[in-house]
Amino acid sequence: MHARRHGLRGLCSLIVIVTLCGLTSLASAHGFAGRDAAFVANAAGFDPVPYAYLGARHMLTGYDHLLFIFAVLFFVFSVRQVLLYVTLFSLGHSFTLLLGVWMHWQFNAHVVDAFIALSVIWKAVDNLGGFRAFGWQPDNRFIIPAFGLIHGLGLATSLQSLQPAANGLLPNLLAFNFGVELGQLLALIAMLGALALWRHRTNFSGPAAIATNTLVLTAGVVLLGYQLAATAFLRS
Amino acid sequence: MTHPSSQPLALPRRHLLALGTGALLVGALIVAGVVLPAEFNHDPLGFGQWSGLSRLSASSAAPGTTVALRATEYATPFRSDTLSIALAAGGDSAHRDELEYKVHLKKDADLIYSWQVVGLDNAEEFYSDFHGHEPAPATSRNLVVATYRQATGLQSNGSLRAPFDGIHGWFLQNQSDHPVTVKLRISGFYDLVPAGEPGNEAGLQPDGVTR
């Protein structure tokens, strides 16, 4: 009874976190507002702080990235494992972010974001034991950096939609990437803190864990639906 | 640090399938009921219409594009004028069978206009050229000229947002063999060109000022 009450409290606080993240509108989650586009269009030359800020904000307001990181962290308990998976994920998304912008890869942002939504769904199913139950446990040391590559494509696509000037592109890109990592670190600290509290106080692998991951799964389905609808209905 | 209760979840397949199906159904329901009407102006379940969510997307000019919908304010006061422009029979060079009448508009200022030719039945016998150019250029080279509408016809109704600061208006030409009158009504954020200056060399005056 005691444990269940704490579990519910943990679940409630998580729902609040997810809802707060969701308050930033769907439309602005992955696009940049016109004001930012104007900034980038006017910026030429090395301008690290604004680019780092845009990167950090993109991460902190992009709840598909946040949901995925949260799902990755959910059943990772040791500091070593946290560092391993976060590093693998960061390597993945940094690689495609830098390469994608540098090589001017043009992808449909909504298709990329649909794959990012799929990564959320995948990890939620993995957390629920959905693969194990059917006799297969995917190796997250490969899966997570692979999804990192896809998340990086999303970052690259959104940065390119701002049409950054060629002058000073590489250092600005690195600053943006630095901001992304910084934002991710902030999000990580908050999530690890919340998860540590929850794990410490209650039967972690109980109904609340099932409910939370089912919620993440549902959110992934909604994000997927949103991006598919955007692909179908919006002319880009 | 290992935690005794921190075991991976191991649910029976039956439960997993139920959870997965539930998540899929709820997710699909949210997408169809809320996301589609609110974001994309599609309402497969009718919930958007019922709840008012559809209003969020129904009025947007173009989904997916950021459109700054804002009012335009002008420093120039609003005014309306009516002019009766008499034109002699075509070819009557002793009298005036063609003229230009323009008003001054600042860049992005709006002008609404309507004119009709009175005393003529054949639309082929009246020619007009609606255009604009910079005011009193210092040199004739590099003069910015914009043509808005060149046509024969007995009437014209429309509006113009000036593409640049300048004088904008009509060259009117009577090609018929009898005199006509053009009734011109204009409203908007413009200034009249004083008689005799470029744009109003004919020295026209409004019928009665109705500001």
Smallest Cβ distance to B11: which of A75, A78, A133? Answer: A133
**Dihedral sign, Cα of residue A18, residue A24, residue A27, residue A29:** negative
Helix (H, G, I), strand (E, B) or coil at B160: strand
Count of CA atoms in the C-beta half-sphere (13 A) of A112: 23
Q: List chain B residues with CB under 8 Å of A217.
A: 19-20, 23, 27
Smallest Cβ distance to A128: which of B2, B19, B41? Answer: B19
**Higher local confidence (pLDDT), B197 or A32:** B197
ipTM: 0.74
pTM score of the predicted model: 0.59
Question: How many other CB atoms are found less than 10 A from the CB of residue A5?
Answer: 11
**Chain position carrying tokens 């579990």:** A7
How far is the C-alpha of B67 from the C-alpha of A110, rounded, in Å? Answer: 20
Question: How many other CB atoms are found less than 10 A from the CB of residue A97?
Answer: 27
Strand arrangement, sheet containing B155-161: B79-87, B180-188, B110-118, B155-161
A156 burial class (0-12, 13-18, 19+ CB within 10 angstroms)?
A: buried
Chain B, window 79-138: residues with a beta carbon less than 8 angstroms from a chain A beta carbon? none
- Above 70 in pLDDT, residue B6? no
B44 interfacial to chain A (CB closer than 8 Å): no
Please answer yes or no on whether B40 and A214 come within 8 Å at the CB atom.
Answer: no
Please answer yes or no on whether A218 and B5 come within 8 Å at the CB atom.
Answer: no
- Token pair belonging to B67: 């459109």
* Nearest Cα to Cα of residue A29 among A88, A116, A149: A116
Alpha helices in chain B (DSSP H): 13-30, 47-51, 55-58
How close A32 comes to chain B (CA, Å)?
A: 10
Smallest Cβ distance to B19: which of A78, A214, A235? Answer: A214
Q: What is the pLDDT of residue A31?
A: 47
Written as tens digits, the pLDDT of chain A (236 aa) is 344 444 454 554 444 444 444 433 333 434 455 556 656 655 566 778 888 988 998 898 888 999 999 999 999 888 899 999 999 999 999 999 999 998 988 888 899 999 999 999 999 999 999 999 988 889 999 999 999 999 999 999 888 887 777 778 888 899 999 999 999 999 999 999 999 888 887 677 788 889 999 999 999 999 999 999 999 888 64
- Inter-chain Cβ pairs, chain A and chain B, closer than 8 A: 106
Do A173 and B56 form a contact (C-beta atoms < 8 A)?
no
pLDDT, tens digit, for every residue of B71-80? 778 888 999 9
A42 burial class (0-12, 13-18, 19+ CB within 10 angstroms)?
A: exposed
Please answer yes or no on whether A221 and B27 come within 8 Å at the CB atom.
Answer: yes
Smallest Cβ distance to A233: which of B5, B23, B40? Answer: B40
Residues of A near B (CB-CB distance < 8 A)? 26-27, 31, 33-34, 75, 77-78, 124-125, 127-130, 132-134, 199, 202-206, 209-210, 213-214, 217-222, 224-226, 229-230, 233-236
- Token pair belonging to B165: 């600061």
By DSSP bridging, strand B190-192 and strand B98-105 are: antiparallel
